[in-house]
A and B are shown apart, each in its own frame.
Chain A
Amino acid sequence: MGFKSEDDKKAYWRANVYLLLKLLAVWFIVSFGCGILFVEILDNIRFFGFKLGFWFAQQGAIYVFVALIFIYVHLMNKLDKQFGVEEE
């Protein structure tokens, strides 16, 4: 078992890092973006009884955080299987 070749090892790590960067981009956008940097612009939009920016800062970002981790778990398990480096 293990990686079939050095190239595989590199490809696995590259795929891993790209996945992290994509997920962390979402993480940054919902919390620091929607909740802090662009909060005043988003506050002009109503979302039920919330101003949208306020909702992201006190509710929405947290829901996205939880979802992000479970998406990561799912995609990483898939990647491990694809390269044959999953745990027994």
Chain B
Amino acid sequence: MDVKTLTFLIVGASFVLYFAIAIWARAGSTKEFYVASGGVHPIANGMATAADWMSAASFISMAGLISFMGYDGAVYLLGWTGGYVLLALCLAPYLRKFGKFTVPDFIGDRYYSQTARTVAVLCAIFICFTYVAGQMRGVGVVFSRFLEVDITSGVLIGMGVVFFYTVLGGMKGITYTQVAQYCVMIFAYLVPAVFISIMMTGHVLPQTGFGSTLVDGSGIYLLDKLDGLSLELGFNEYTSGTKGMIDVFCITAALMVGTAGLPHVIVRFFTVPKVRDARKSAGWALLFIAILYTTAPTIASFARVNMIETINGPSVAGQPSTGTAYTDAPSWISNWEKTGLISWEDKNGDGKMFYAGDERNEMTVDRDIMVLANPEIADLPAWVIALVAAGGVAAALSTSAGLLLVISTSISHDLLKRNLAPNITDRAELFYARLAAAVAICVAGWFGINPPGFVAQVVAFAFGLAASSFFPAIIMGIFYKRMNSKGAIAGMLSGIGFTACYIIYFKFINPAGNIPENWWFGVSPEGIGTLGMLLNFVVAFTVFRFTADAPDDIQQLVEDIRYPQGSGEATSH
């Protein structure tokens, strides 16, 4: 069977699986729709959280990104895993004990204020839409690349699938579908990595192969080889960074804190039965995420060595390589040339390809190729290529579904039930939740088909806003029981305002001036959420100094969420 037929079969089979789960786990009440009745096993919840968290960008682009960034890629690796420690230790158990459905629920109740609730709802909706627009595009790209349909049809198929199991199943349907999607995704990610690790270093585990010698008989360590190649070709040394240390520090911190503040991640910890399970489930989630995140940097370096050697040809004892004749190039180069992900321009007219970091360079290489073409570079069988397609689709679908659910919950629960129309029945609320999910899918699909040019830029927004708004408000809400609504609202508004202005200025108003010399304290817009978070804390405590403590019943509420006993199930009121 050829690759295309196999891809259709494997991706098709995965869809059938997702549909079957959605029908089996369809939601009958708002509680099932919002938090899967709070009855999800911690390990299953861990897998679902991992699938929710790891998007098409993690699956397809991250290894490639690291491959081109070298050491600096650590900002993503540390940032997108370290946040779970904060989440597990400082947020998840207490929010679970609090026992409501959403983040705006907590902010609104803890700070006894509809203003605080509304600010939180708007932030949650904005963060999720920012994110989901990119995901739908990812679905379209994966489909178009592997199934050879155009991107619009790809997005439409993706919308159809997500529509089916989100609108029908709500959180319950999504959770169990995400468990299946995690399994598909991680298997698809590890198989090529293990094969390549064995081929290059003789180690089954890519994580140990990463730090060992190559099997080509040279006895050179993989990373030393990569450093040598990088310097020789006019790149920076792979294992050293180019970004400033303060910037690396701030980006990492903003991503960590942003991760811990993202509403679609936090809401997952409302779905487990007990506080104890919320703690444990964060551990499992990070373990499942770490399997992919410790493999990504290994793929990054394996694929980079592979690619350089394929394009430039092996270097023979002391003689620098001069390039591989285009006519001798392996078939994956011409295959992926058709998609525009790799291209060659014979500048010096010698008929040979050459890849370098200076004027000798003749190649344009897209970072996504590091994962997508990996199975072909390593000469793996066709079913592995099909599997990678199914994995990419699973990654994009699972994240979109989780985000769409938060949008629908924010509208039907936080905005309608808790704000505008408190008297609606459970049935009506469920109907509005489904309606909101359906509308959100259409809006997300529209963004997927007509991507605004700023999608890549606004991702910094999502993390920056989560870091500078939700995280400090929740932390103070739990660990400082006297903090009052005025302080918290002033903190949130100044944190968001500052972060948003900085990002808007450098990304939209003055993109030409987006250079380290102009940044405050050398912090790029990606890392500014860290300063926004500090500002939030400072403003909140300053305003608090001049206003009255939180009322006694609120302080009592905070004391109650500080210990696990009597958590019960997540309730609406």
Contacts and interface: CB of A to CB of B under 8 A. Distances in A.
B297 A32 contact: no
A8 to B, nearest CB: 10
Nearest to B288: A66
B252 A2 contact: no
Interface string A28-72: 000110011101000100011111001101110111011011101
Given A31-B82, A36-B252, A49 B221 contact: yes
B276 A27 contact: no
A70 B222 CA distance: 32
Nearest to B238: A54
B245 interface: yes
A29 to B, nearest CB: 12
B289 to A, nearest CB: 9
B211 A69 contact: no
- Size range of the chain B interface in the assembly: 35 or more
Q: Considering residues A1, A9, A76, which has the most beta carbons from chain B within 10 angstroms of its beta carbon?
A: A76
A9 B559 contact: yes
A69 B84 contact: yes
Interface string B72-113: 011001100110111011100100000000000000000000
Interface string A1-33: 111000001001100110010011001000110
A35 to B, nearest CB: 6
B506 to A, nearest CB: 23
Contacts of A65: 81-82, 84-85, 286, 290
What's the dominant secondary structure at chain A's contact region? helix
B541 interface: no
Nearest to A17: B479
B275 interface: yes
Interface stretch (B277-285, B326-334, B513-521): B277-285
A54 B283 contact: no
A72 B276 CA distance: 11
Interface stretch (B344-352, B382-390, B450-458, B560-568): B560-568
B388 to A, nearest CB: 22
B556 to A, nearest CB: 12
B446 interface: no
B499 interface: no
B71 interface: yes
- Size range of the chain A interface in the assembly: 35 or more
A73 B93 CA distance: 10
B210 A59 contact: yes
Contacts of B274: 87
Given A36-B245, A69-B282, A70-B283, A85 B564 contact: yes
Contacts of B78: 31, 35-36, 57, 61-62
A51 B74 CA distance: 14
B223 A80 contact: no
B368 interface: no
Contacts of A61: 78, 81-82
Contact of A58 (B245, B282, B297): B297
B242 interface: no
Contacts of A57: 71, 74, 77-78
Given A43-B239, A72-B88, A85-B564, A58 B290 contact: no
Contact of B74 (A16, A20, A58): A58
B82 A54 contact: no
A45 to B, nearest CB: 13
A1 B565 contact: yes
Contact of A62 (B89, B241, B276, B293): B293
Contact of B279 (A47, A55, A76, A85): A76
B44 interface: no
Nearest to B208: A48
Contacts of A69: 84-85, 88-89, 279, 282-283, 286
**Which 3 A-B pairs give the minimum distances between C-beta atoms?**
A49-B221, A57-B74, A69-B283
Given A24-B86, A65-B81, A72-B88, 5 more contacts: A13-B563, A23-B85, A65-B85, A66-B286, A80-B565
Interface of B: 66, 71, 73-74, 77-78, 81-82, 84-86, 88-90, 93, 207-208, 210-213, 221-224, 239-241, 245, 248-249, 252-253, 256, 274-276, 279-280, 282-283, 286-287, 290, 293-294, 297, 479, 559, 562-567
Interface of A: 1-3, 9, 12-13, 16-17, 20, 23-24, 27, 31-32, 35-37, 39, 43, 47-51, 54-55, 57-59, 61-63, 65-66, 68-70, 72-73, 76-77, 80, 83, 85-87
